[in-house]
Amino acid sequence: MNKKISSFIVVSVLLVAVIIYSAITGSIKMDILEFIRAFFGEENADYTVIKDLRFPRIIVALFAGAALSVAGVLLQAVMRNPLADAGVIGISAGASFVQLLVITLFPTMFFFTPLLAFLGGAFACFLVFTLSWKSGLNPLKIILVGIAINAMFTGLTEAFVTLCSYMNIMVGGVGGSNLSMRTWSNVSLITFYGAIGLIISFLLVSWCNLLTLQDKTAKSLGFNITRARLIIAATAVLLAAISTATAGVIAFVGLLIPHISRRLVGSDHKWLMPFSALAGALLILTADTLGRILVAPLEIPASTIMAIIGGPFLIFLIRKDK
């Protein structure tokens, strides 16, 4: 069987399996057959509780993983850098800081959370581009500047939270990095804006492929490189921002998944983008599920598990790649 098709099948089957396992595992447990019967309409009190408490968390994890992975693919296409990731180069941290700052000072603007996160992410992306540009985009400089921007916004966020004593905002609320306490309103938010971002991303596949060419070659084909980079970068920021607004800052997803996906389905974005979306959803849901069950009844945030996995992976890539 074709390696690409088999990779899609394997990831899809694993995703369905993890979704079911995540739904039936925890403080309230259900037998898998009992769960399936309840899913298709049989009355069950445990299923009703699971539907209200776990389903929103699962759906947010799936969309956050897909959004962050595709954002990583887009950023890597724009920056021509396989190490670019919204969580590593500060876009997610910028989105988190701006939305936290504005919502804390102006609580009535809570419903503009996605817009605020987008503006914060766009500002961080602008800083990375501006400060790392010197006669072109240098991959190493992008990462170093991005890490500095990420540290800056993370420090500002922590300082602001400490000064204002708004720790409840950071734990399970706006800007939190734990997927617990997600509600159906969070689901509505991330599915609406996330779907828009993902659809736009899939429409930009041909542009992403053209950006892999040298600038002179692309221009000779009549391709507007500047316009393409701006639109693709804006779409990546939208995906990273909506994920940050609903699931918090989760780094390394957009680094791990695109890299693994290229090994399995190649560099053609027609295959790379949808596969990365599926694999990213699988990764975040798996990380969140492990965080729930490893030290139950306590929880380890998915962002913490991703940091433990992603940090060594980034070091490995930096040492391995030229």
The model's pLDDT over 293-320, given as tens digits with 9 standing for 90+, comes to: 888 778 888 888 988 888 787 777 767 6
Alpha-carbon distance values, 224 to 20, 47, 207, 230 (Å) = 45, 52, 10, 10
| Interval 124-183: pLDDT, tens | 999 988 887 766 666 677 888 888 999 999 888 888 877 775 444 444 444 444 677 788
In eight-state DSSP terms, residue 9 is: H
Q: Nearest-CA neighbor of 181 among 306, 56, 28, 19?
A: 56
User: What does the pLDDT look like over 28-51, one tens digit per residue?
Assistant: 888 888 888 888 888 888 888 888
3-state secondary structure of 39: helix
Residue 31 CB-density burial (10 A; 0-12 exposed, 13-18 middle, 19+ buried): exposed
Residue written as token pair 């800052």: 249
pLDDT above 90: residue 111: no
Give the pLDDT confidence score for residue 174 in this predicted structure.
Answer: 43
Q: What is the pLDDT of residues 198-221, one digit of tens each?
A: 999 999 999 999 988 877 788 888
| pLDDT digits 0-9 by tens, 87-106 | 888 999 999 899 888 888 88
Q: Are the C-beta atoms of residues 187 and 296 closer than 8 Å to each other? A: no
Give the per-residue pLDDT at 137.
63
Domains for the chain: give ranges and CATH numbers: 3-320 (1.10.3470.10)
In this prediction, residue 94 carries a pLDDT of: 92
Preceding peptide of 114 cis, ω within 30°: no
User: Of the spans 1-5, 20-24, 46-50, 161-165, which averages the highest pLDDT?
Assistant: 20-24
Note the pLDDT of residue 172: 41
Question: Pick the residue with more confidence: 49 or 281?
Answer: 281
Residue with the two structure tokens 């492929």 = 209
Structure token pair of residue 272:
């790379």
User: In terms of DSSP H, where are the helices of the chain?
Assistant: 3-24, 32-39, 45-79, 91-105, 113-132, 139-164, 167-170, 184-203, 205-210, 215-220, 225-247, 253-265, 269-293, 302-320
- Distance set, CA 182 to CA 52, 56, 77, 188, 322 (Å): 10, 6, 32, 11, 41
The pLDDT, as a whole number, for residue 167 is 44
Strand, coil or helix: 137: strand
Quote the pLDDT of residue 1: 57
